[in-house]
Chains A and B, each alone.
Chain A
């Protein structure tokens, strides 16, 4: 490789800092946007998981179908948003998002499986909301704050 103009070590460190600032500014915007989406989806997924316990398929089948459809739409919307943003995220944020997303999906599936355990009290329903929402919500908070 030809090197062209050479810089002193001090100049190299200064130029490096400037270049990284420019890139981090652009990536920071993507991280904040995805973080906000994560918070919204986390709260939504938790809420839908909780509502499943209210609109149980044996008691209100149409309500159950509507909730599952809303869940599918919100997951599809989130996946589209991630597909647009993942190439402009700071290093490591993609993995962070995927971990939170998968954890919330698994917990949502557990909430669906809990339908077989019979009706639950409001305390348990609120707990389901918090537990299902937590991974994505916390991931979103971490992304926005970074």
Chain B
């Protein structure tokens, strides 16, 4: 059972920042760059790099727009991202005996 769960772990989420990003985005419909940065406590450049990587993997959708004249960036989980992350979390719970 544990061997199966370990195989279902997704390496893309084993990085602490990406795991935190996916977990944060799972809690909301979407989040702006600033809220994510404050919730996770990382710098702009680190957040930007990891968000881009998650977007490239198809887990996160990034939208750019304006609020007034200020440029803003928003991120949300794609349905594939939601599914992949839910499987990852379930596998983690099974491995640690919580699932």
Contact = CB atoms under 8 A, between A and B. Distances in A.
Nearest to B17: A4
A13 B16 CA distance: 10
Given A19-B39, A19-B40, A12 B14 contact: yes
B53 interface: yes
Instruction: Indicate the member of B21, B29, B36 with the most A CB atoms within 10 Å.
Output: B29
A146 interface: no
Contacts of A116: none
Dominant secondary structure at the A interface: helix
> Number of contact residues on B: which range applies?
35 or more
B16 A91 contact: no
A25 B24 CA distance: 11
27 contacts: A1-B56, A1-B57, A3-B11, A3-B12, A3-B15, A4-B15, A6-B14, A7-B19, A12-B14, A12-B19, A13-B89, A13-B93, A15-B16, A15-B23, A16-B89, A19-B19, A19-B23, A20-B26, A20-B27, A22-B41, A23-B36, A24-B27, A25-B39, A27-B27, A87-B74, A88-B31, A91-B28
Interface of A: 1-7, 9-10, 12-13, 15-20, 22-27, 86-94
Interface of B: 9, 11-21, 23-32, 35-36, 38-41, 53-54, 56-57, 74, 89, 92-93, 95-96, 98
